Amino acid sequence: MIFSHHFLSVRHQSQGNLEQILERARGFEKQARAGSDHPINSILATLFYEPSTRTRLSFETAMHRLGGRVIGFADARTSSVAKGESLADTFRMLSHYADIAVMRHPREGSARAAAAYATIPVINGGDGGHEHPTQTMLDLYTIQSERGHIAGLNVILCGDLLYGRTAHSLAWALLLMGANIICVSPHGLEMPSHVMHLLHERFGKFPAVEYDLTAAIADADVLYVTRIQKERFLSDEEYFAAKGSYTIDTELMSHARSNLVLMHPLPRVDEITVEVDQDPRAAYFRQAFYGIPVRMALLDMLLKGEIKLPTEVGYVIREERCPNEMCVSRSELYLPPEFEPLAEKPDTYRCIYCDHEVEEKREEWEVVEEKA
């Protein structure tokens, strides 16, 4: 598999890479506000198998601002997916139509799977409950724009951290950039254990966990709120039990610092009351705008080959597929069920698509490839 020039996960990026993207975005901010005469003569394909307002439209605007052109679909039912076309065939073919692609898909690991069959850069615009790395780039940019720096800040990640893909990507990037994170969620919607393990493995510590938002907010520099991800719940019962379990209102904001930055990837449902929009600390609409210069920077750098993925480590193919029902390897059955052996946890393997872990005796597995 070739994973050289895609943007699939923040975990593939060094701190230096993140800083370079943010700096490039800073250079594009004026152009993002004023329009473009910078033709890059490229075509962006937007393949959205799941609903989106900001990600799709801001990528399209970013490409137009750069002087490029856009093709794509916003509803997979109007594409040949409705006739049963695989991700692999779609991306093989698409590589002849466009120079770069952004996709959103309900399956975890779908962007990685698509990238394996594409010869053009693939950008992950959200893969199920897994990751949303370009949202993370604009989240970092927002914090940098509002506070001037990221290192040393106390950032609360609040809400549905179980299914909230923006929080999974952002947690990694914030730790990489030197911020402190505090996870605040309703019981049962905590950060998934496989995400916590990834953070511990890379940064040597687990993020702090807190359930009382009123107590936590007093020391926060940034409050990052996410909605309950209704579309990922297995039953309506579970969703309605969680709905309304946290609300950011003017009373809660009275406990926060005067320079708090209140963020939300949007869409908001009812977790931030509309009265809070008048509070100058509410940064979520400014945050949505920052998607333009950041996505301009990503398109520009990926088209120029300035962002490269790290070399892959060895992996193994397991007989049984990933236990995560939402993993792309459970629906695109031609994908080999590949897993990465974990050095620190004997007999534990991580699915290369969705990061879920599986425990199994190592000798039962066949090592099929080792890459330098």
- Please report, as ranges, the residues that interact with ligand CP according to CB under 6 A: 52-55, 126, 135, 265-267
Of 24, 54, 264, 330, the active-site residue reads 54
How far is it, in rounded angstroms, from Cα 294 to Cα 145?
12
192: CB partners within 8 A, 6+ apart = 161, 162, 168
Q: To 5 degrees, how large is the angle CA 19–CA 24–CA 25?
A: 95
* In the chain, beta strands by DSSP E: 43-48, 69-73, 100-105, 122-127, 154-158, 180-184, 208-210, 222-225, 261-263, 315-317, 338-341, 348-351, 357-359, 366-369
**59: helix, coil or strand?**
helix
Nearest approach in angstroms of CB 161 to ligand CP is 16
Place of tokens 């320079």: 259
Please state the closest distance from residue 52 (CB atom) to ligand CP, in A. Answer: 3
CB of 233 to ligand CP, least distance (A): 17
165 assigned to active site: no
Cβ closer to ligand CP: 74 or 118?
Answer: 74
Choose between 109 and 337: whose C-beta lies nearer to ligand CP: 109
- Report the Cα 334 to chain-centroid distance in Å: 25
CB of 19 to ligand CP, least distance (A): 22
Question: Active site includes 104?
Answer: yes
CA nearest 304: which of 41, 26, 88, 32?
41
DSSP string across 113-153: HHHHH-SS-EEEEEETTTB-HHHHHHHHHHHHHHHS--TT-
β-bridge pairing 180-184 and 154-158? parallel
CB-count burial class (<10 Å; 0-12, 13-18, 19+) for 340? middle
Which is closer to ligand CP, CB of 67 or CB of 106? 106
Whether 54 is a known active-site residue: answer yes
In this complex, which beta carbon is closest to ligand CP, that of residue 6 or of residue 54? 54
Farthest-apart Cα atoms in the chain, separation: 60
Of 7 and 339, the one with the shorter C-beta distance to ligand CP is: 7
SS3 per residue for 190-223: CCCHHHHHHHHHHHCCCCEEECCHHHHHCCCCEE
Specify the residue, 52 or 110, whose C-beta has the smaller distance to ligand CP.
52
What is the closest distance, in whole angstroms, from the C-beta atom of residue 166 to ligand CP in the complex?
7
Q: How far is the CB of 25 from ligand CP (least distance, A)?
A: 16
Q: Which two tokens stand for residue 332?
A: 């695109």
Q: Within 13 Å and on the Cβ side, how many CA atoms surround 349?
A: 30
For 34, half-sphere exposure in the C-beta direction (CA atoms, 13 angstrom radius) is: 7
Residue whose pair of structure tokens reads 């002087």 in the numeric block = 67
Q: Which is nearer to ligand CP, 267 or 323 (CB)?
A: 267
Least separation in angstroms between CB 271 and ligand CP: 14
Distance CA 189, CA 236 (A): 15
Which residues are known catalytic residues?
Answer: 54-55, 83, 104, 132
